[in-house]
Structure 1
Amino acid sequence: MKEKKRAAAGRKTNVIPVQWDATFFFERAVQSLDRYHYDKALKYFRRAVEYEPDNPVNHCNMAGILSEMGDYGESNRILRMIVEELDPTMTECHFYMANNYANLEQYEAAEEALIRYLEEDEEGQFLDEAEEMMELLHFELERPPRLGFIKAREGFYEHDRARSMLEEGKFVEAVRLLESIVEKNGDFLAARNNLALAYYYMGRFEQAMATIKEVLGMEPGNLHAMCNLAIFHQHAGDREELDPLVALLRKTVPFHQEHVFKLATTMGILGEHGDAYRHFVRLLKDGSLRYDPCLYHYTAVAACNIGRLDEAQRMWQQAAKLDPDSNVPGYYLEQLTRFRSGDDPVPTSYHYHLPFEEQFKLWEKTSDTMPDHLKRDPLVRSSFFWALRHGDRQTKLQVIQALGMIADGEVKDALKAFILEPQEEDYLKRMAIFVLRSIGVHESLPAMLEGRETVIEHSRMPSRLPVWDDKWQAVLEAALLRMNKHYDLVQQHDLLTLWIEFLSRVYPDVPRLGKVEGWAAALEYLTAKMHRRAISYHEVSVRYGTSIATVSKCAKRIDEICGIKEKMKLIFPALADRHRD
């Protein structure tokens, strides 16, 4: 017997010993899943967890099985434990929890989990599925999801916001956001392209050119950058650089719809209307764009400029049908009629709105404010910002007044930057400060005046006076309050200049300002006279609630000190220029 046992022990066996570990149970669980045996798969995953309790993948697999079996609550408990205790980097657990909450019809909780997944997950493994779920939650919650940032698309969401800002004419805000995106993600070429455009719209031409060249340095064939560069060269009048670039663009036949549109509009702006027409017709054949009135307008302009007048007419008529509330197609159809009769030149503007001059004709018909659609119009706003940097003296003066009517955050930022420019004229900067004060900017303002840096203190106007008395301010406010609806900003600023000039000349022997309204009425009277407006002592005395004698006395005192009648042109050179014009 002992010999038999020894012989049996010496023989080789075909039995393979089983190694009981997490891998073994994981493989068994997968086999069960393949056969849709969820209860067995759950049992095996539980055993895998017992062998490796610190392995978050095992727990996650178990949560997945529980979800398949409909136990969404227990599944979420495990998923929450994973990200809170085992491995916070397993951000996909938030996506799984969102699915579980959605199945439980707990849509608020599902939205919270989904947002956390999108904001924390860098890989974007379930990005498409998450966006589909967002649409579901939008429908169920009857409101847009409260999503602010997608980690896997870092910069893309902010870039979309920046593009919207550009379309709304919010160039300063767009520049800030785009600069931030580029700083975080230097390879984001679309953001760099739009940053160049934002600089260009604001009149910061050198920065625009430098930025677009950076893009082409990183990707020489970038079509958006090439198109933008061509427009920049055209603006600069640099034919030597422009001509070979246009020749290259003529040979370019892009595939993607976005690139076709960019090239078409660029060629139109460059005056290459035949190429523009060819690309616009390609876009019209695309079913997704056949209901876009803008595209019909673009095609009509191109057709008109290559002599296809009947086709241009049909295009504008179609635009009018698609956009019956717009006055743009009707305006261009009228222009086309006038062109056919030889009265007007061929329409060349590819922008789908009325030409700048026509919009301002509408503005002039209003009493004292700019229409809201003009305030929001990005072309109007970019024209203002461009003129503020590159216009002549008179244009800058008009633009400063117009910006005062828009009076939003963009305008305030632009004017604050303007008063810091060393090369700008002090008169214009003082006018800009006046506009800032008039639109509610009362904090201290850094400025460059008389060749040196200074700070215009809270609610103060710029002057050389070492002090600014409250009563002097009261006179100014009393005058400006009554002049607000009857005088433009330049005239109001001239009143301020006159008052400061008077106080500066008599200081420190400033007369006792007994009746504020009398001095205020005198300032308005003299300002109106300087601008050759019909006015009388009686008229201002009634409006200010003071006597004719008081107004006359104060006006004569100011005139005596400032020599208005003899020195008006020296004291107010801008006003003298306007009279000569």
Structure 2
Amino acid sequence: MEEHPIKNRQPSTKIIPFIQTGEYYFKKGLKAYRQRNINKSKKHLERAVQLEPKEPIFICQLAVVLTEIGDYQLSNKYLSSIIEDVEADMPECFYFMANNYAHLGLFQEAGRYADMYLEREPDGDFAEDTEELLDLLSFEADEFDESFDQDELIVKQEDARELLETGRLDDAISLLKEIIQEYPEFWSAYNNLALAYFYSGDVEKASEILNEVLEKNLGNLHALCNTLVFLYYQRQTQKVKELTRRLESIHPILVEHRYKLGATFGLIGRYDLAYKWLRNLHRNGFQGDETFYYWLSYSAYFTNHLELSKNAWKKVLEENPDKKGSEPWLSTGTKHLSEVLDRWLTGDFIEERLYGLFLASKTNSSLLRKDFKHIKFHATLEQEFANYVLCKKKTRNKEFPAYIIDGYRITDLLFLKNKNDDSANEELYLTWLMIYDEAVKRSYDVSNLLAWAGATEYIWRNHQSDKITQKQVSEKYKISKTTLAKYVKFVKELLQ
């Protein structure tokens, strides 16, 4: 449900030279929008609408920008004013309203406005997008009774959200119970009620409500994410791992769901998965709130995208200067990094534990310079790898088998070659360490560092559907195409 600028229309007003008219601010707002400076765009468009409140093109573009920042209700208010103006003739407003209702979880209304757009513009600019939205709604729709008063529901939903955010939990619980009684299949209210109980300390009641949601609305993503958070705070480690694996395989279409997944993964310390979804939204121009940039900054920092982390944190401080001092790279960040390391080091698979050891070798924090006595290693390879990492950290000379040193250096080579590439992530390094484990078991020679690294990256990127050729990889790692092809064959054998 990608947002779009208004297409193929010109405002009816004329430019008056040297005077800052509504059109002057409209053009500035549109330019800022195209440059993805959404806050600046909103400011200029609001001024344009203030100067010329009956110009529908100005109002519609402002509504699109409000959708970008998540103010769906105000966006629909503006769009409704255009629809009610019989002279406006802007059927695209129906499509934009359908999008907004989908974001709000009001799928019945979303479908109604999508149908209204297609009735008026079956071959319009947004016809294909609208049909995709309708396909999505067929999967996502909650089956509301047609007698529901949508306006009343929206008002109550927003009131409940405000009560939650301001900590008035008892009032929030009362209002959410009232919403559920009137709209027994409005799952968003159940999820918020569970959060209200959780924040008030009644974890058992919160979990009971989420279980009810998942029984009646199987696969409800918000309920699954909230369940994961509850399990995390209850330190039910095994259940956290199991549910994380389940959520890891989900690929939602709705922006709201991608945001929810990213923030949830960030909260439980799975910064690799958090970065995947939050960076995906960020690349596509999503302008989030303080919470979005907070988790984007943390997930970027702990996946070695330091410049992005710093830029995202600037956004956090713009919204909330009180956050100064809680940057991920300061003392609180060290705590988070320790938690991340422990999670990898206690992973279920050998490649996860080896990756944890590699990460430990990359930190200069004195807090993390520890012997891995609390870690249970399951194989000689892990123990020798741990000894090598510990030796590197303590700058002590000691003899190690060549395959241990080579395995580490190949991991480091992949890391160095890809640390500034947003498309690379932990899965690349985990893929190599899985291959490495198999190579050691089968007595493969891993001394050709460049060839193994190049072959691993080539296979991984193709598996990720990245368009990359053997020629490009050969040039990146400065090896011949013949050598690369030979090691690609080895990698495929080991992965089988």
TM over 0.5: no
TM-score normalized by the length of structure 1: 0.32
TM-score normalized by the length of structure 2: 0.37
